[in-house]
Amino acid sequence: MQRNVRTTFASPALQPANVQPLTNVACAPCLARPTYDDYADIRLGNVSYYTTLFKKQVFPAPVYQIRSEVDATVMVDPMGSHKPYYEKVPLTQEAQVLSPYSFDQDQLFFREDLMSRQSSLMDRKSYHKFHSFFDA
């Protein structure tokens, strides 16, 4: 129904040639799932385990322009859970290379500081970023 107008069809839908009909989709042979004992037993598709250097970096280079050091610590909250904390410490000697104007330098520092604080929760939950700093 479209805009409260009932549409009727003169004939049923056509079944195209070389297309399997969608009747009895939940049949018993289709529901059988294979069991795997190890990752080597999986033969479906192109299995690859892909990690990039971009995912392992806490403050990656294309996003952050100012060169900086990263201080990584593990904080323990009052409930006893351990959380990694990454602090971006910019190298102030590099600011003149990016722009000769102090207004632009201040904007860059503010923008990168704001982005690093907003991404702190995402960085805290990342497994790859944690293991690039801490060997567990």
Alpha-carbon distances of 6 from 3, 11, 12, 14, rounded to whole Å: 8, 16, 16, 21
Can you tell me which residue has the tokens 């042979």?
29
With a cut of 50, which residues of the chain have pLDDT below it? none
> What pLDDT is stored for residue 114 in this prediction?
92
- The pLDDT, as a whole number, for residue 128 is 77
Which among 119, 110, 46, 62 is positioned nearest to 87, based on CA atoms?
119
The structure's pTM equals 0.52
pLDDT for the residue numbered 120: 86
Length of the chain: 136
